Chains A and B, each alone.
Chain A
Amino acid sequence: MKIYGWGRYPTIDAQVLLPQTQSVCVDLLKSNQIVLPRGMGRSYGDSANSSTVIQTDYLDHFIEFNESTGVLTCEAGVSIREILELIVPKGWFVPVTPGSSFVTIGGAIASDVHGKNHHLSGTFSEHLLSFNLMLGSGEIVSVTKDNYPDLFRATCGGMGLTGIILSASIQLKPIQSSRIIQSTIKTNCLEEVFEQFEANHASTYSVAWIDCLASGKRLGRSLLMLGEHSQDGTLELGKKKSLNMPIDMPSSMLNHYSIKAFNSLNYHWIFSKIKTEIISFEPYFYPLDAIGNWNRLYGKAGFVQYQFVLPRAVGVKGLRQILEVIAKSGKGSFLAVLKAFGRANANFLSFPIEGYTLALDFKISEGTVQLIKQLDSMVVEMGGRIYLTKDALMTETSFKRTYPQWQQFEEVRARYGAIGKFASSQSKRLGLQ
């Protein structure tokens, strides 16, 4: 069966195993040479591609939910969407969420996902109380930051390469309302959006949509979207998604002109300097979840989502250089998202470092591959790094230079029998054993 990530590039012919119990997982580990755990396949590149994958579709049960303390324990295959359906009506929210709710808890840990509150709340693993991990031998260990610090630091952000995450306990955060007070600030250039990120550091959530095709004086013009949980209103979920992208968009529809028009329209849609509105949490956190299969927008060949972070010291100047290269290439994306990161954590391969991160989509083509090569070398030069969850093209050299703790990661994998048992197309490309 052909499998691929959310970017639909690259693909691999794989055997997909669907265990229904933990004991079946042990059997599958023993009867297969090399495997990789996989959730909903929402990472973009090839990090969840492998010739044999153990998919957690049927390991999707809740185990315990303490409504007074907000501690939730569930199996790894439960999605954030399912969690929200359970907890929001009871006044709780996930502590950190990525831009899609269609990700599993196992995937959220393996990618150590970040959200719009990273500058204050850090990554997902920073709210993780414990998790059960099945090692290469089939043995199950219950991991916390304190009892197995090495395994914790390797597994969170470890792209599924240390073992199979079976279940996890997370600390949720209380909310009074399911609504978000969203303030949109319109900025004219890159310097201004950076100033606004700094000025609004105390805001719980912040993210900027950036027009990556604007150039010259307008380079980096953005809409900065701040969010706070509303104190009043009801606790409810919105209606289920109604739109679906039924077919692949013809490649020709997505070109320099259509993207430029979209970006321009989006920017000019907001007239005032600051606009405040109260909206449901779904459009604020998961705008694209409303369109099923939106990845088909980029046509049959697929796309690459390119997300990098630059250290704070490099800041505006570095980002300006990169944006200039992108604007000049004429390859842009509908959504380019800019976010200020807070401090890095101690995990070996977690992506965030203090600074600024930008994510954009590029339709896959020979030109794109060349552009990404060029961008990669700029990012590496500036002391930044690429997000493994989005990556499909990074070289081994760039990886080892920008993730200097990779050797410690490998040592932990060796210690717990993961080497020669868990591997992905990405791990092979990046020179991990």
Chain B
Amino acid sequence: MKKILIIGATSAIAEATARIWAQRGDELFLVARNQERLNVLTKDLKVRGSTEVNSYCMDANNFEEHLPMLDKAFGMLGKIDVALISHGTLSNQKECEQSVELTMQEIKTNALSAIALLTHLANRFESKESGTIAIISSVAGDRGRASNYVYGSAKAMVTTFTSGLRQRLYKFGVSVVTIKPGFVDTPMTAEFKKGLLWAKPEKVAKGIVVACDKKNGEFYVPGFWWGAMIIIKLIPQAIFRRLLF
């Protein structure tokens, strides 16, 4: 039985992951903005088999709340085996282009708030010399594209930050897992037309559970995105700048 902290617990991917953890009897501490949904989730995960579920209502953009939340989580769980950061918003690229304020807000939600949390978590995990810090980044962070570079650049920061953090914490026996999903069919992407490249959150969740159990590195889920992104990253600028996708 593991003790797991999930920040952004009401995201579809986090919820699907929590269901797997609950089923195997793990103890969970959920953090999200919406109290109504936290209550629903708490009951659901208990029925599914979680030994204990507690929650904390907080907006991740409210940085002062981070420490009190972590104190509560560590207080309830004792030691934390896995901390998963999964909150985020899918920025509206077109609106961001017209608004500095909105762009900054999106960067704050998807990058800065995550980095603030990672900083706190890293220090606590380092002193305990064990555990896994996992975060959901995105394939969008691998290369900036016209259709979503605000969101993409925030995720690039998360990927780069956790890459450095992984090196720093390696000798302390702390794993840092960076998950890079491709297109996932969630409420966040409800507006999009779905095709062959789309995955269900349950599929991504399985990848996250495996990675958090025994891996330390960056993981594309589903796996084919690894190959797809190698190709996309290899396209020369001279060609890439002309493409629009």
Return A21 CB to nearest CB of chain B, in Å: 5
Return A385 CB to nearest CB of chain B, in Å: 38
Tell me whether B41 is interfacial, beta carbon within 8 Å.
yes
Contacts of A23 in B (CB 8 A): 36
Return B36 CB to nearest CB of chain A, in Å: 5
7 smallest beta-carbon distances between A and B, as pairs: A62-B47, A61-B44, A65-B47, A62-B44, A61-B40, A63-B43, A21-B36
Bound together, the chains give a CA A98 to CA B126 distance in angstroms of: 54
- List 27 A–B pairs whose Cβ atoms lie within 8 Å, in order of A's numbering: A18-B187, A18-B190, A20-B10, A20-B37, A21-B34, A21-B36, A21-B37, A21-B40, A22-B36, A23-B36, A58-B12, A58-B187, A61-B41, A61-B43, A61-B44, A62-B44, A62-B47, A62-B48, A63-B43, A63-B44, A63-B47, A64-B43, A64-B47, A74-B47, A75-B40, A86-B47, A86-B48
Contacts of B36 in A (CB 8 A): 21-23
Contacts of B40 in A (CB 8 A): 21, 61, 75
Inter-chain contact B187/A62, CB cutoff 8 Å: no
Q: Is the interface of B mostly helix, strand, loop or mixed?
A: helix
Contact with A along B23-58 (1 / 0, CB 8 A): 000000000001011001101100110000000000
With beta carbons under 8 angstroms apart, the residue of B43, B47, B48, B187 that contacts A20 is: B187
Q: Which of A47-89 touch B at CB < 8 Å? A: 58, 61-65, 74-75, 86
Contacts of A86 in B (CB 8 A): 47-48
Contacts of A21 in B (CB 8 A): 34, 36-37, 40
Inter-chain contact A62/B43, CB cutoff 8 Å: yes
Contact with A along B173-195 (1 / 0, CB 8 A): 00000000000000100100000
Contacts of A61 in B (CB 8 A): 40-41, 43-44
Give the most central of B37, B40, B47, B190: most A CB within 10 Å: B47
Contact with B along A9-47 (1 / 0, CB 8 A): 000000000101111000000000000000000000000
Bound together, the chains give a CA A64 to CA B36 distance in angstroms of: 16
B→A interface (CB under 8 Å)? 10, 12, 34, 36-37, 40-41, 43-44, 47-48, 187, 190
Return B150 CB to nearest CB of chain A, in Å: 24
Please count the residue pairs between chain A and chain B whose beta carbons lie under 8 angstroms apart in the complex. 31
Bound together, the chains give a CA A23 to CA B34 distance in angstroms of: 11
Q: How many residues of A contact B (CB 8 A)?
A: 14
Bound together, the chains give a CA A74 to CA B43 distance in angstroms of: 10
Give the most central of A21, A23, A58, A62: most B CB within 10 Å: A62
Apart from the given pairs A23-B36, A61-B43, A62-B48, 7 other A-B contacts in the complex at a CB distance below 8 Å: A18-B190, A20-B10, A20-B37, A58-B187, A61-B40, A61-B41, A86-B48
Bound together, the chains give a CA A61 to CA B43 distance in angstroms of: 8
A→B interface (CB under 8 Å)? 18, 20-23, 58, 61-65, 74-75, 86
Bound together, the chains give a CA A64 to CA B43 distance in angstroms of: 7
Bound together, the chains give a CA A62 to CA B41 distance in angstroms of: 9
Contacts of A18 in B (CB 8 A): 187, 190
Contacts of B190 in A (CB 8 A): 18
Give the most central of B34, B36, B43: most A CB within 10 Å: B43
A85 nearest CB neighbor, chain B only: B23
Return B196 CB to nearest CB of chain A, in Å: 11
Bound together, the chains give a CA A21 to CA B39 distance in angstroms of: 11
Bound together, the chains give a CA A326 to CA B41 distance in angstroms of: 51
Bound together, the chains give a CA A226 to CA B12 distance in angstroms of: 42
Contacts of B43 in A (CB 8 A): 61-64
Bound together, the chains give a CA A413 to CA B190 distance in angstroms of: 32
Return A151 CB to nearest CB of chain B, in Å: 24
Contacts of B34 in A (CB 8 A): 21
Return B14 CB to nearest CB of chain A, in Å: 13
Bound together, the chains give a CA A61 to CA B18 distance in angstroms of: 12
Bound together, the chains give a CA A58 to CA B185 distance in angstroms of: 12
Contacts of A65 in B (CB 8 A): 47
Bound together, the chains give a CA A413 to CA B1 distance in angstroms of: 50
Return A340 CB to nearest CB of chain B, in Å: 36
Return B19 CB to nearest CB of chain A, in Å: 10
Give the most central of A58, A61, A65, A75: most B CB within 10 Å: A61
Return B132 CB to nearest CB of chain A, in Å: 27
Return A48 CB to nearest CB of chain B, in Å: 19
Contacts of A63 in B (CB 8 A): 43-44, 47
Bound together, the chains give a CA A398 to CA B37 distance in angstroms of: 45
Bound together, the chains give a CA A20 to CA B190 distance in angstroms of: 12
Bound together, the chains give a CA A63 to CA B48 distance in angstroms of: 10
Contacts of A74 in B (CB 8 A): 47
Return A27 CB to nearest CB of chain B, in Å: 13
Give the most central of B10, B36, B44: most A CB within 10 Å: B44
Bound together, the chains give a CA A81 to CA B10 distance in angstroms of: 23
Return A371 CB to nearest CB of chain B, in Å: 36
Return B34 CB to nearest CB of chain A, in Å: 7
B186 nearest CB neighbor, chain A only: A58
B42 nearest CB neighbor, chain A only: A61
Return B13 CB to nearest CB of chain A, in Å: 13
A1 nearest CB neighbor, chain B only: B193
Bound together, the chains give a CA A317 to CA B8 distance in angstroms of: 63
Contacts of B48 in A (CB 8 A): 62, 86
Contacts of A75 in B (CB 8 A): 40
Contacts of B47 in A (CB 8 A): 62-65, 74, 86
Bound together, the chains give a CA A75 to CA B43 distance in angstroms of: 11
Contacts of A64 in B (CB 8 A): 43, 47
Return B201 CB to nearest CB of chain A, in Å: 11
B47 nearest CB neighbor, chain A only: A62
Contacts of B37 in A (CB 8 A): 20-21
Return A23 CB to nearest CB of chain B, in Å: 6
Return A348 CB to nearest CB of chain B, in Å: 32
Bound together, the chains give a CA A192 to CA B40 distance in angstroms of: 53
Bound together, the chains give a CA A20 to CA B10 distance in angstroms of: 10
Return B193 CB to nearest CB of chain A, in Å: 9
Bound together, the chains give a CA A64 to CA B44 distance in angstroms of: 8
Bound together, the chains give a CA A363 to CA B37 distance in angstroms of: 44
Return B199 CB to nearest CB of chain A, in Å: 16
B34 nearest CB neighbor, chain A only: A21
Bound together, the chains give a CA A150 to CA B12 distance in angstroms of: 37
